[in-house]
């Protein structure tokens, strides 16, 4: 059995798969067979009877990778896949805590909070304690809590040197109390709690150390400190100096590529690769240098790109495969045209018999998917957004659409239920039940029930919500569709809400894309809210790939790690987008962006498209952009420009531009300052010359039309 398992492996791979039970590091570039070696080693250990399924623990980076590994193993071997501990760090910790909830001090049915839940919990806490959330912004506090947990620090171990940090520490403590009371754990807690349980419970630790004799970890370069500490405990390397643990530690088989470390921004510590060699006295470091995935030109491009990074462990990848075709570069006039290009090429490949599932469209930021999805929708090409949601299914988009639906029709119960308490305004479940009862009793909508004052104790809060919707409806009259969208985002408090969230940046970018979607809709169709809402529902559901249906794969570059496809489109290769604005001025950040680009290029087996757009719609407006430096870092001989130097579109795609914009630099979404009304955002303007009128949303001060010449407005950005 093991002979066929090992067939086709190259000598280094074979050596790695059949290593004796010692700790080892497999350091190798993309597509060199790391994941394959890891899976094959598990199969080899099992099939040669060196260990039973219960003795293996393997960590993957995604749930999908875990599932694939399990499927492959149970196809190869007569084993019950469920006995194998294969999963992500979070998945494995969850499994561990479910088994030992009592020892871990958790309720049996503890619930897991995702990051949005956690943020909401922190906000609730601040409110309950009457803490000023401007002084202690929820986002910052959540970051503080998670950061400490990832360092393994409980409140009593956190250093605090002034009043502010003492308060933070106290809030951390209160937050923990609240979680305990409610029986919930956040992501960081899953890990920390598992770690502490192993650390403090000698019997359990002994049991698991004796059990898991082989621990294997894929994508080791992206583990964080706490994950590494947890591994050390599990493998019997902790506590330090404990003689009992020495000599019987598990064999840890770590597989990684420093060039693909792309989660430093979330605390991943590539230094773990170095520490691992020291802590586990690793004597065997195996390098795999043959790439089996990509054609030569693709590999050469990736190698050349990553060579621009300074901090590397250094390795060189080669392939026996032929050079193949050059990389195809397409410079589009606009993001719409870029999407059109992707659609045309996908159609052609489909005609040539290529399955859609083996084609991936990659982008740096989630919000970029909107334009691509729109083009695919129009071309009726089924697609799936991998590792994320389709644009119109994203939480923030659904919230914004629900407000818009209420503007169009306040008696839309679903929309009302979605946002009556989002952002939180103190309207609880009991109030909603009461409203629903009233509505049922009188056979009316929730809106009418709410208007009739049937809201019990929270009547005032409900009243304010009704007022909010009414005033938005009033203000929206006569506004253009994209302006209506912006008005809703501002007035309903969605922008403020997500600005305060730790991971809110991506959601803000998506909301921004909703304004752009509205602007496009007006251009292509009509300026009508109801029609736009219908369009959004259709696009959300219509061409959704059915389970099992062949579908194009859309995803962020982060989500593509470890995967491979026949053909890959890497889109949006523009300065500011990729490399991302956030990292351009920071050399470390730039190197991480380059590693990310390296991950993207190395996903392709045979065909790689690189595309960029000279203009892109942001905030409902067209912005011009410059080609990404990464394109210059790939040798020109490997690139085939399909249309170099394409002239920008003669007319900007946005209809929001007007004379005023040129003369006064005004634009929708612009921040302004007024001596009397304070800070505001431009929502509309018209007229020209000396007669420009501008409409500004001053938040609590209301939305006002001002004559620009006399307004004493300062334009801020």
Ligand X SMILES: Nc1ncnc2c1ncn2[C@@H]1O[C@H](COP(=O)(O)OP(=O)(O)OP(=O)(O)O)[C@@H](O)[C@H]1O
Q: Alpha carbon 476 to chain centroid distance? A: 33
618 token code pair:
């942001």
CA 509, 511, 515, 516 torsion-angle sign: positive
Q: Does 71 bind ligand X (CB under 6 A)?
A: no
When the beta carbons of 292 and 646 are compared against ligand X, the nearer one is 292
17 preceded by a cis bond (ω within 30 of 0) = no
| The entry of ligand X, Mg ion, none that residue 30 binds, CB within 5 to 8 Å by partner kind | ligand X
35: annotated active-site residue: yes
95: annotated active-site residue: no
Cα–Cα dist 560/588, whole Å: 22
Of 2, 10, 76, 115, the one binding ligand X (CB under 6 A) is 10
Of 24, 31, 337, 681, the one binding ligand X (CB under 6 A) is 31
| The entry of ligand X, Mg ion, none that residue 292 binds, CB within 5 to 8 Å by partner kind | ligand X
Residue with tokens 């643990």: 245
Which of 328, 342, 323 has its CA nearest to residue 640? 328
Of 27-35, 51-59, 181-189, 448-456, which segment contacts Mg ion by CB under 5 A?
Answer: 27-35
Cα–Cα dist 540/401, whole Å: 12
412: annotated active-site residue: no
Q: Does 562 bind Mg ion (CB under 5 A)?
A: yes
Which of 640, 633, 643, 644 has its CA nearest to residue 301? 633
Strand, helix or coil for residue 566: strand
How many Cβ atoms from other residues are within 10 Å of residue 395's Cβ? 14
Q: Does 318 bind ligand X (CB under 6 A)?
A: no
The burial of 617, by beta-carbon neighbours within 10 Å (0-12 exposed, 13-18 middle, 19 or more buried), is given as buried
The alpha helices in 492-586, defined as continuous H runs, are 494-499, 504-524, 529-541
Count of residues of this chain found to bind Mg ion when the rule CB under 5 A is applied: 3
Which of 302, 305, 219 has its CA nearest to residue 258? 219
581: annotated active-site residue: no
> Distance from first CA to last CA of the chain, Å, rounded?
67
**Least separation in angstroms between CB 29 and ligand X:** 7
With contact defined as beta carbons under 8 Å apart, do 633 and 648 qualify? no
Catalytic residue among 603, 605, 607, 667: 603
Of 26-34, 184-192, 329-337, 632-640, which segment contacts ligand X by CB under 6 A?
Answer: 26-34
When the beta carbons of 3 and 650 are compared against ligand X, the nearer one is 3
Q: What string marks each residue from 262 to 301 as x (binds ligand X by CB under 6 A) or -?
A: ------------------------------xx--------
Residue 328: phi and psi, rounded to 5, are: -95, 125
511 token code pair:
């909301």
Residue 655 is assigned to a ligand binding site: no
With contact defined as beta carbons under 8 Å apart, do 59 and 252 qualify? no
Cα–Cα dist 376/373, whole Å: 5
Q: What string marks each residue from 240 to 269 as x (binds ligand X by CB under 6 A) or -?
A: -----------------x--x---------
The alpha helices in 154-244, defined as continuous H runs, are 163-182, 187-200, 202-211, 225-235
Cα–Cα dist 173/154, whole Å: 8
580 token code pair:
């991302």
Cα–Cα dist 419/446, whole Å: 13
Of 33-41, 174-182, 501-509, 589-597, which segment contacts ligand X by CB under 6 A?
Answer: 33-41
When the beta carbons of 279 and 300 are compared against ligand X, the nearer one is 300
Residue 35 is assigned to a ligand binding site: yes
When the beta carbons of 35 and 119 are compared against ligand X, the nearer one is 35
Of 2, 6, 9, 673, the one binding ligand X (CB under 6 A) is 9
Of 12-20, 33-41, 244-252, 409-417, which segment contacts Mg ion by CB under 5 A?
Answer: 33-41
Cα–Cα dist 536/400, whole Å: 12
Of 16, 30, 500, 660, the one binding ligand X (CB under 6 A) is 30
Catalytic residue among 13, 34, 480, 502: 34
Catalytic residue among 12, 186, 189, 218: 218
**Least separation in angstroms between CB 32 and ligand X:** 4
Q: What string marks each residue from 416 to 455 as x (binds ligand X by CB under 6 A) or -?
A: ----------------------------------------
260: annotated active-site residue: yes
**Least separation in angstroms between CB 84 and ligand X:** 19
Residue 29 is assigned to a ligand binding site: yes
Of 4-12, 161-169, 529-537, 658-666, which segment contacts ligand X by CB under 6 A?
Answer: 4-12
Q: Does 35 bind Mg ion (CB under 5 A)?
A: yes
Residue 149 is assigned to a ligand binding site: no
373 token code pair:
């999805």
606: annotated active-site residue: no
Which of 391, 383, 389, 390 has its CA nearest to residue 350? 383
Q: What string marks each residue from 532 to 571 as x (binds ligand X by CB under 6 A) or -?
A: ------------------------------x-x-------
With contact defined as beta carbons under 8 Å apart, do 472 and 403 qualify? yes
Cα–Cα dist 673/677, whole Å: 8
CA distances from 227 to 422, 437, 494 (A): 35, 49, 35
Residue 294 is assigned to a ligand binding site: no
When the beta carbons of 33 and 680 are compared against Mg ion, the nearer one is 33
| The entry of Mg ion, ligand X, none that residue 641 binds, CB within 5 to 8 Å by partner kind | none
Of 36, 315, 566, 584, the one binding ligand X (CB under 6 A) is 36
The alpha helices in 544-692, defined as continuous H runs, are 587-601, 629-632, 659-664
Catalytic residue among 12, 13, 35, 501: 35
Q: Does 261 bind Mg ion (CB under 5 A)?
A: no
Residue 28 is assigned to a ligand binding site: yes
**For binding to Mg ion (CB under 5 A), which residues are involved?**
34-35, 562
Q: Which residues are annotated as a binding site?
A: 28-35
Binding-site residues for ATP:
28-35
The catalytic site residues sit at 34-35, 218-219, 260, 603
Binding site for ligand X (CB under 6 A): 8-10, 13, 28, 30-36, 257, 260, 292-293, 562, 564, 602
């Amino acid at each position: 059995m093991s002979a066929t398992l090992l067939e086709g492996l190259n000598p280094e791979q074979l050596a790695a798969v059949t290593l004796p039970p010692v700790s080892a590091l497999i350091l190798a570039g993309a597509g060199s067979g790391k994941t394959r070696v890891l899976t094959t080693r598990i199969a080899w250990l099992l099939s040669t009877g060196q260990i039973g399924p219960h003795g293996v623990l393997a960590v993957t980076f995604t749930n999908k990778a875990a599932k694939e590994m399990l499927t492959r193993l149970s196809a190869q071997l007569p084993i019950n896949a469920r006995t194998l501990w294969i999963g992500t760090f979070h998945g494995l910790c969850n499994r561990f805590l479910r088994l030992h909830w009592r020892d871990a001090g958790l309720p049996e049915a503890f619930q897991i909070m995702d990051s949005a839940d956690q943020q909401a919990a922190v906000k609730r806490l601040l409110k309950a304690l009457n803490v000023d959330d401007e002084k202690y912004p929820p986002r910052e506090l959540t970051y503080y809590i998670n950061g400490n947990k990832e360092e393994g620090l409980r409140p009593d171990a956190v250093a605090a040197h002034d009043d502010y940090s003492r308060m933070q520490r106290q809030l951390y403590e209160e937050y923990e109390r609240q979680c305990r009371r409610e029986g919930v754990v956040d992501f960081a807690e899953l890990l920390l709690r598992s770690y502490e349980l192993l650390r403090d419970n000698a019997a359990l630790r002994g049991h698991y150390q004796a059990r898991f004799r082989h621990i294997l970890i894929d994508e080791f370069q992206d583990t964080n400190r706490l994950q590494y500490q947890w591994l050390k405990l599990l493998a019997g390397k902790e506590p330090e100096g404990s003689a009992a643990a020495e000599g019987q530690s598990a064999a840890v088989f770590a597989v990684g590529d420093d060039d693909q470390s792309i989660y430093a921004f979330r605390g991943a510590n590539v230094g773990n690769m170095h520490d691992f060699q020291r802590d586990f006295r690793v004597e065997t470091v195996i390098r795999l240098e043959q790439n089996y995935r990509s054609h030569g030109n693709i590999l050469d491009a990736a190698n050349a790109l990553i060579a621009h990074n300074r901090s590397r462990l250094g390795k060189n990848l080669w392939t026996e495969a032929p050079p193949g075709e050059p990389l195809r570069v397409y410079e589009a006039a606009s993001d719409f045209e870029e999407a059109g290009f992707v659609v045309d090429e996908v159609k052609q490949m489909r005609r040539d018999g290529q399955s859609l599932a083996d084609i991936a469209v990659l982008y740096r930021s989630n919000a970029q998917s909107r334009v691509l999805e729109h083009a695919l929708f129009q071309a009726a090409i089924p697609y799936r957004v991998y590792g994320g949601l389709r644009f119109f299914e994203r939480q923030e988009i659904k919230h914004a659409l629900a407000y818009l639906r209420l503007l169009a029709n306040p008696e839309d119960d679903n929309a009302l239920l979605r946002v009556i308490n989002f952002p939180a305004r103190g309207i609880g479940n009991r109030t909603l039940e009461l409203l629903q009862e009233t509505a049922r009793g009188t056979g009316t909508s929730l809106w009418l029930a709410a208007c009739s004052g049937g809201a019990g104790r929270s009547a005032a809060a409900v009243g304010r919500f009704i007022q909010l919707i009414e005033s938005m409806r009033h203000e929206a009259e006569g506004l253009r569709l994209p302006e209506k969208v912006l008005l809703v985002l501002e007035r309903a408090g969605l922008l403020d809400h997500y600005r305060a969230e730790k991971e809110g940046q991506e959601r803000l970018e998506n909301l921004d894309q909703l304004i752009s979607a509205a602007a496009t809709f007006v251009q292509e169709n009509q300026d009508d809210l109801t029609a736009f809402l219908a369009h959004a529902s259709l696009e959300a559901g219509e061409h959704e790939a059915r389970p099992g249906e062949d579908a194009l794969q859309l995803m962020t570059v982060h989500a593509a790690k470890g995967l491979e496809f026949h053909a890959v489109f890497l889109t949006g290769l523009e300065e500011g987008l990729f490399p991302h604005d956030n990292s351009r001025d920071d050399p470390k950040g730039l190197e991480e962006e380059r590693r990310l680009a390296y991950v993207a290029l190395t996903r392709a087996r045979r065909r790689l498209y690189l595309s960029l757009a000279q203009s892109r719609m942001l905030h409902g407006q067209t912005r011009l952009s410059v080609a990404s430096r990464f394109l210059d870092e790939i040798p020109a001989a490997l690139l085939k420009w399909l249309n170099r130097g394409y002239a920008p579109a003669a007319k900007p795609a946005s209809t929001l531009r007007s004379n005023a914009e040129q003369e006064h630099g005004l634009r929708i979404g612009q921040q302004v300052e007024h001596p009397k009304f304070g800070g505001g955002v431009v929502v509309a303007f018209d007229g020209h010359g000396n007669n420009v009128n501008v409409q500004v949303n001053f938040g609590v001060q209301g939305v006002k039309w001002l004559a620009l010449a006399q307004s004493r407005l300062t334009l801020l950005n």
